[in-house]
Structures are given as structure tokens and as C-alpha cells.
Structure 1
Amino acid sequence: MKLAIISVTNKGALLAERLARQLAVPADVYAKSGRNPLNTEKEFASLSSLLDTIFSKYEGFIFVMATGIVVRVIAAHVRDKRFDPAVVVVDEGGQHAISLLSGHIGGANDLTRLVAAVAGATPVITTATDVASLPAADVLAVKLGLVIEPFACMKAINAAIVNGDPVTFYIDMSLANADTYIQQAEKLDVTLQRLNESALFEQSAAVLITDKQMVVASSQLFLRPKTLAVGIGCRKGTTREEIVTAITDACQKIGRSINSIAIIASTVVKQNEAGLLAAIKEFAVPHHFFANEHLEQCAIENSLDSSNFVKETIGVGNVCEAAALLAGQTKKLLLPKTKYPKVAIAVAEVKLP
């Protein structure tokens, strides 16, 4: 977590500097101009101007000051709990550490506990599931590295948990690392039951860990593991919309969620293709452009078909399938080369540790 610690008084600056030294997290320390007894921190004249500049640059903030000041100064920057940074407030006396924003997904609750332990403060955490010592779907998602789908359903699921309504957590046992998920969930006091699709229609609320597309009730939430490597070949000038449509359809063909895409890959020849880069940005996943010789070697080793036309055009006869296999570090294709207008897609299953 990239962290900023900000103070506005001399005493606050001393506590900020101590937190920066003792927290096991890299941190930049900012102190108000003229109120910086150590003269080692970055100085600022206006707190609101500072936040205008840096709010989007850090994953977490520790404010050593009054909560009211923080509420007013961050208000214009708060947008969505999926993307907001963790915000923790500590009084300059180090008595209380308050989880103010993005407690679960952003990690503010965990950061609050860490800050409180270092400062000798009392942690103040008000998220309902934490207060009641109950499991939360978004906490499980963060700890297991899963994508929440649809996000709008998460609030209803957590509300049901807090209200004592029955919510069952399921795991798709066909996932390569299902046992690991079960063990990690147990550490969070969550018991994962074997996914039984026929039983889902009897559940009023459920959380499902799977990469498969399923028809479920509106009150049921998917947590998507990153299991898919998508390989892409495309013509010059192909648009973002054409590529996104092709990827989405390709995932539908194999019954997998686009939120389970772990990586998108292609040939280095396409590394500056505007439409492809825009599509990758939309899916917000890592990407890799492989050298043609690596793609060619992969094609030979896996007996992949080669197109003479493609080879004459860009120097390698198989792009999408070889790119998918290399990106997934696997030999298992879930979807072989599938042609769309201007685009060819292949999908591989990612090799998991």
C-alpha cells in the first residue's frame, strides 16, 4: 500500500514521523509549513490544495488531526468505495485511530488496527460486520483477491449477514485452487460449501466463488477468481469497441465471466495499437506483448495451426492461441482461435500456484 501521512500541528508532525518509522509500510510524510519541528517531511501551505494534487496518487492516507477537518477536505474527492483510498484519522495525542473511509475494500480497517498498535491508540471501526464480528463478502473478496460481481448486490448481502438472515458461501470445486480458498476463508471464519447449482434456487441470498456464468437470483453475489488468459490478434486500426465485443463474446462461448480475465496478451507488433490498448485499459488487467520468436516457439511446441497470411503480414503465423498459452503459463486452451471481424481471440486457463 502506497501511504501518505499528513499532519497540521507540531505535535501531529512528531506523531506522523513516528508512525512513518514504525509502520511496516512505505510512507510519504507531509507537514504543514511552519509546523514541522523535524524539518524532514514534505511541507505544504494548504491542506485542500495538497489533497487536490495527491489524493489520487496514494492507496491510503493517515491524517493526524481532527476528524472534522478530514471530512471537509476529502469530501470533494470521495467517489466510489471500489476505488476510494483507505483513510484513517489519528488525533495528535495518539489516543484514537479512526477508520473513516474504505474500511473493507480499501483496507482502512486493517490499516486502523496497525496504526493503533503502533501508536498505542484505541482503534475505532464502525463497519457493521466488524462491530458484530461477522464475515463480510467484500472482506472475503479483498483477502482472496476476487472481483465482486455485480457490485450493486454486495450491500444487500452484507446487510443480510448483519441482520442475521441466512447467507450461504459457496465454492466451485472445479477451480484449480479451490482448497486454498477454503483454507483462507476459514481464517476469516467463513465456511465455504461445495457449489451445487440446483440448490441455488432455494437460497434467498448466497455468495458464489466461481469463474463460471450462471443464472441465479438477484440477491446472489459472485466473487470472481482471476483464471483466464486472453490472447488477441487484430488488424491494424481495429477499434476498442470491436475488441471488447469480441473478448466478451469469447468468454460467453466458454461460459466464463469477463471479470475472471487475469491477463490479455498479443504480439509485440501490436504494442502500439490504439484500439487494443484502449480495450486492455477498459478491462483493467495486466497485459503482455510477446516477441514473435517466442510466439513461434510456443506454436511449434503445442502443434498450433499457422496462418501463412498472418505470418507474411506480421512475422508469426499464430498470435492469439500462442499468446494465450504463454500468458497463462499453461498448455490448456479453453477456447481455440475464434475469428471475429478484424479480431481473433483465444482463451487459456491460467496456471495457478
Structure 2
Amino acid sequence: MIRVISLTDKGQALGKRLVAQLNDALLSHKPQPFSQQVQTYFTAGERLIFICATGIVMRSLAPVLADKYTDPAVLVLDENGRFVIPLLSGHEGGANDWALQVSKLINAEPVITTANAYLHPIYSVGMGCERNCPEAELEGLFMQSLQQQGLSIKQISCLSSIDIKADEQGLISLAAKLGIPFLTWNKQQLSTVEEQLSTRSTYVHSIVGVYGVAESAALYSALQCAAAYSKQTDITLETSLVEQAELVMNKQKTAKATCAIARAYAS
């Protein structure tokens, strides 16, 4: 869920404009008690858009900040709608990209100060599944994951998995339906991003030779797609390149499928 929080009448008017253009968004005007309410929204995992001063936001959220891997994205806008600032979780939480999206909605200027701000983000979705998993279950998990991260299908470079899933009809048909490539990689390739996995399953490793299919495929594909975008050739996974890939959504799962989203940056 997206929560737009305003403190002035002018900010409320801007908030109403935003809510009308965003999916699954609510406007909270002058919530009271302010700090307690916004902390509740934040700890519940809501993505927050504040229309007020950055100092108020930081003082209010400081007691509940955890880390950049788990905190939800937070944006701050001025009440005139001139600037959009990704304040928290710029990379891992997707606030940088979200700021770009929001700025386009209201014709504002995104103010992005983190590293990689001037590079092009490449997103890849990795999926694993039981044999003959229904396409509907795969699609539901895929779309739910995109919505959770505030991404659109146009931002996804590919759907990917391990090579033993190269003939998995549900994945093949889903990629075709979405109009994106379906890429698969062998266990040697996927093992090169092993250190970046959020969790490791010894059971999965005993079956397919990697500790996690969805996260490994997402990370490795993001690297390869970023390299292709930059028109690089003879790619080797050197440390500098590996560090450009990051999980933006750790593995999510249903009864029969898993999904993860990764991002790399291309020049």
C-alpha cells in the first residue's frame, strides 16, 4: 500500500492529485498524533510519500528505522510539487526509481543523490517452480511481486530461471504473454552470484545444484541484461560488475513457485 501524508491545505491538494494517479494509495491529512501514526504506517511496510519538510520526516521515523534492506521506500515532496526526493531505501527499496515515476506524474524534478543515480536500472525477474506449475499461479506471483515493488512490466528486461526449467511450459507461456524474453542459466553460471542470496536452501542445492533458483536467476540475468544494454562483449563476472547487481525483492513464494527481482545498472 502507498500512503500519502500531507500537513497543509496546499499539500493536501497535491496529495489528492497523487492518489488519483497511483494504484492502491490512500491520503492521510494531518494524522494525529503525527509521529505515532507515521511510525505505524512505516512499520506496517507501507510505502510513504510525505508532502512536508524532510526534517519532520526524519525526526518522526528515526526511532523505527531498521536497515536499507527492509525499510519501505519513503519519498518527500514540497507542497508546490516542484521536487521529489527519495529519502529512504533509494536502491534496495526502489525509492530512486519510484521518485522518477512520481515526478513524471506531477511534472516535478527528481532529486536523487545516491550512487548510480545517473545509470540506467535494469530489472530482471527470476522464478522457480514445481514441474507443470500452472501458468495462472506463476502469473499471479509475478504480478503481485511487481506491484509490491512499484514496478511495471515495461521495466522488466526478462523472466529467468535455471536451465532445467528451459522446457517449463508455464514459464515459457507466461514470458510470451508478457512479451519479455525467457532466459535460463546453468548451475555454474548461477553459482557465481551465490554470495548475494538472501537465504540458502541446502535442499534446493541437493536437487538442482544451486542454493536458490529465483534469486540466483534474477541476479545473474540482471548482470547479463545490463551488460547487453551497455553493449559490452566477452562478459566476465568480475567483482566490479557483480557489485552492480542487487536484490530489490527477496524470494517470495506460493505453494508451487518462487519469485525474486534483481537490478543492475547499465551505462
Structure 1 length-normalised TM: 0.43
Partner of 1:13: 12
Whose radius of gyration is greater, 1 or 2?
1
Which letter maps to 1:105?
E
Change over 3 Å in CA distance of 1:286–1:93 after alignment to 2 = same
Paired-residue identity, %:
31
Q: How far does the alpha carbon of each residue in 1:147-168 deviate from its partner, in whole angstroms, 9 at most, with x for none?
A: 9xxxxxxxxxxxxxxxxxxxxx
Contact 2:187 2:210 in 1 (8 A): no
Alignment of 1:187-202 (within 5 A): 197=188
Kindly indicate whether residue 19 of structure 2 is the aligned counterpart of residue 25 of structure 1. Answer: no
Which letter maps to 1:79?
A
In 2, Cα distance between the equivalents of 1:67 and 1:257? 43
Change over 3 Å in CA distance of 1:47–1:223 after alignment to 2 = closer
Which letter maps to 1:88?
L
Deviation at 1:69, TM superposition (A): 1.2
Q: How far does the alpha carbon of each residue in 1:164-184 deviate from its partner, in whole angstroms, 9 at most, with x for none?
A: xxxxxx996555269x6xx96
Q: How far does the alpha carbon of each residue in 1:263-291 deviate from its partner, in whole angstroms, 9 at most, with x for none?
A: xxxxxxxxxxxxxxxxxxxx86333xxxx
In 1, Cα distance between the equivalents of 2:252 and 2:127? 14
Which 5+ residue runs of structure 1 have no aligned equivalent? 33-43, 148-169, 186-191, 198-207, 225-246, 263-282, 288-326, 329-348
- Specify the SS of the correspondent of 2:116: helix
Partner of 1:254: 207
Kindly indicate whether residue 93 of structure 2 is the aligned counterpart of residue 109 of structure 1. Answer: no
Partner of 1:144: 125
Which letter maps to 2:50?
F
Deviation at 1:61, TM superposition (A): 0.7
Partner of 2:49: 62
In 2, Cα distance between the equivalents of 1:126 and 1:6? 23
Deviation at 1:195, TM superposition (A): 6.5
Change over 3 Å in CA distance of 1:254–1:172 after alignment to 2 = closer
Deviation at 1:92, TM superposition (A): 0.6
Q: How far does the alpha carbon of each residue in 1:302-341 deviate from its partner, in whole angstroms, 9 at most, with x for none?
A: xxxxxxxxxxxxxxxxxxxxxxxxx36xxxxxxxxxxxxx
In 1, Cα distance between the equivalents of 2:48 and 2:58? 13
Partner of 1:285: 253
Count of equivalent residues:
186
In 2, Cα distance between the equivalents of 1:184 and 1:84? 30
Q: How far does the alpha carbon of each residue in 1:40-80 deviate from its partner, in whole angstroms, 9 at most, with x for none?
A: xxxx2222110232213344110000111112212222212
Alignment of 1:1-353 (within 5 A): 2-21=1-20, 23-32=21-30, 44-131=31-118, 133-135=119-121, 140=123, 143-145=124-126, 175-176=165-166, 197=188, 210=190, 214=191, 221=196, 248-260=201-213, 285-287=253-255, 327=256
- Specify the SS of the correspondent of 1:130: coil
Change over 3 Å in CA distance of 1:98–1:84 after alignment to 2 = same
- Specify the SS of the correspondent of 1:97: strand
Change over 3 Å in CA distance of 1:251–1:114 after alignment to 2 = closer
In 1, Cα distance between the equivalents of 2:10 and 2:57? 17
Deviation at 1:255, TM superposition (A): 4.1
- Specify the SS of the correspondent of 2:117: helix
Structure possessing the higher relative contact order (Cα contacts under 8 Å, 6 or more residues apart)? 2
Contact 1:144 1:184 in 2 (8 A): no
Which 5+ residue runs of structure 2 have no aligned equivalent? 129-159, 216-250, 260-267
In 2, Cα distance between the equivalents of 1:3 and 1:117? 17
Q: CA RMSD in A?
A: 4.1
Contact 2:2 2:26 in 1 (8 A): yes
Partner of 2:238: none
Deviation at 1:105, TM superposition (A): 3.1
Which letter maps to 1:27?
A
Contact 1:86 1:103 in 2 (8 A): yes
In 2, Cα distance between the equivalents of 1:184 and 1:126? 31
Which letter maps to 2:78?
D
In 2, Cα distance between the equivalents of 1:18 and 1:115? 11
- Specify the SS of the correspondent of 2:63: helix
In 1, Cα distance between the equivalents of 2:198 and 2:47? 24
In 1, Cα distance between the equivalents of 2:162 and 2:126? 16
Contact 2:5 2:50 in 1 (8 A): yes
In 1, Cα distance between the equivalents of 2:60 and 2:15? 18
